[in-house]
Structure 1
Amino acid sequence: MLGSIESFVSDFVLRHPLNRLPGGGSGAMFDAPLVGCAAADDELFDQYKQIIGFFHLTPRELVAAQQESWQPRAVISWILPSTEAVRTANAQEATFPAYLWSHMRSRGEDINMELRRALADFLREQGGQALVPQLSPAWQKFEDTPVGIASSWSERHAAYAAGLGTFSISDGLISARGIAHRCGSVVTSLEVEVTPRPYSFHGEYCLYMRNGTCLACAGRCPVHAIGPAGHEKDICNGYVYGTTQQALEGRYDLPQIGCGLCQTGVPCSGRIP
């Protein structure tokens, strides 16, 4: 089953008409996706209530929130890696994101949201039930928690559970194709092969968290929101959704501008360092 899901996700992304760089060229925003699966009853989803907060929902709670009674069995997660062209453009910037990066952040997330819905439909066509956590009536964003800004479902934590990567000191998820990506997930009642987690430490792929070296991401942050103690979410959020959005939304004409400077021009941008 996982193989057919991987094929569906890959075909959807690589053939999507929006998966193109602006300007009419032939280049793409995203390379071939990575796909993984975690068991819906994996103890990690219960542990996230302690790691992230009591408000973080389990797959069972997501089903209940939709007033449905089916048994969730699998969480399908994916990574949409940005292409070298997108990463290179942003790596050349020091204050605000490159247009190619912002285009990927905004139009690429449009693709990602379409993929969430399309994969849920595909899983239903295979005879299962499915839901999209990001579209759940129970999905909420919380501005003030012990871990800073958080939500009731973390796509990066779902990807970690599904064996797709580990966290960085900047709070990003470093996958086999690096940290510069979009990610998403769908919960289903179907039995799907679980992807092994090839790591034993949540920061295993980050050079700083692994052995105390690097911190290149900290040097890339224009507002010094990253350091040895981690990621200052409030400072980062203010810069991305305040300063950067206000500076570039008129020029770029995109609903989401993003930033991504800490995810480009660094050793983990397109690979595990």
Structure 2
Amino acid sequence: MKDQIEVYIKNFVKEYPDKKGTTIKWQEPLIAYGAAKNPMFHKLKEVITPSHALPTDFLQDAETVIAYFLPFEEVVVKSNSNERESSELWGRAYVETNQLIFDLNSYLYDMIGTLGYKSTILPATHNFDQQLLISEWSHRHVAYIAGLGKFGINHMLITEKGCCGRIGSVVTNLKIEVTEIQEEEFCLYKAKGICGKCVKNCVNDALKIDGFDRHRCYEMCLYNDKLLTDIRLADVCGKCMVGIPCSYTNPMKK
């Protein structure tokens, strides 16, 4: 079953640009699997918000959380490396990847259904409290529990293909062998106390070595959205993800 799910995801992402005529393309996805009853999901109610959902809130008989990372091509990342404002290509990548995640999850819903199991169709974003700016289903934290990567000090999930991309997740009652969470850190600062380039890249003084002001961050995202007027809602920034050692890879394995 695991191999079949991975074929579904990878082929869908590979064929998507030609089928949908998107501006961007994606590298091959990374996929990981977490046990739906892992106690770590309950800890998200302490770490993020008491109202953070559990997998069983979506499916009573949930067995697995499938998490996947859709890495941007280098041209997208490099386009966002220079100016204070987000590039148009970065904004389009955000919008098109959000749609890809919805379409992929809808496809998986159908394919998993043909195997005799159930799954969820979860949106990529904008399912957060507009005042607190806290998500009630954090794809990044869910992906961490599934073993897809480790958090950097930029609060992004660093995968084996870096942090420049988008994360999606699916809850299913199909039981799949889980991915182990690696013990070692992927972030150079967390592991060795060096780097910190993501903090230097922050253009609105939102990110610190030891803290993060999510409201200042979102203020910049909304500023960029007003500039990207010919794109659907593109509340993006991404400066803390580009031009740094973990943009494209796990720097601890170099």
- TM-score when normalising by structure 1: 0.85
Judged with a 3 Å threshold, the aligned counterparts in structure 2 of structure 1 residues 53 and 255 are, in CA distance, closer, same or farther, namely closer
Which residue of 2 is the match for residue 90 of structure 1? 80
> Which of 102, 115, 118 is residue 126 of structure 1 equivalent to?
115
Task: Tell me what 2:67 maps to.
Answer: 77
Identity %: 29
**Residue in 2 aligned with 1:49?**
45
What's the CA shift string for 1:71-106, capped at 9, x where partnerless? 100001100001111112212x23111222111111
TM-superposed deviation, 1:163: 0.8
**What's the offset of the Cα at 1:20?**
6.4
Deviations 1:200-228 (A, max 9, x none): 6xxx2112222222110111111121111
1:269 aligns with 2:250: no
Alignment of 1:175 with 2:159, yes or no, is yes
Question: What residue number does 1:193 align with?
Answer: 177
Structure 2: distance between partners of 1:220 and 1:240: 14
Choose which of 255, 258, 266 in structure 1 pairs with 2:236.
Answer: 258
Deviation at 1:256, TM superposition (A): 1.5
Partner residue of 2:225 out of 242, 245, 248: 245
Structure 2 residue runs without a partner (length 5+): none
For 1:199 and 1:102, the matched residues in 2 are separated by 34
Q: Distance in 2 between matches of 1:217 and 1:178?
A: 13
Task: Report if the CA contact (8 A) 1:170-1:230 is conserved.
Answer: no
Q: Which amino acid aligns with 1:142?
A: D
Give the TM-score normalised by structure 2: 0.91
Matched, 1:31 2:27: yes
Decide whether aligned partners of structure 1 residues 52 and 265 sit closer, same or farther in structure 2, where only a CA change above 3 A counts.
same
Unaligned runs of 5+ in 1: 23-27, 64-69
Q: Secondary structure of 1:107's partner?
A: helix
How far the C-alpha of 1:258 sits from its partner, in A, is 1.5
Instruction: Give the paired residue count.
Output: 249
- Inter-partner Cα distance in structure 1 for 2:130 and 2:91: 23
User: Whole-Å Cα distance in 1 between the matches of residues 58 and 219 of structure 2?
Assistant: 30
Q: What is the alpha-carbon distance in structure 2 between the residues aligned to residue 221 and residue 20 of structure 1?
A: 32
Contact persistence 2:128–2:134 (CA under 8 A) = yes
Q: Residues 116, 95 of structure 1: CA spacing in aligned structure 2 closer, same or farther, 3 A cutoff?
A: same
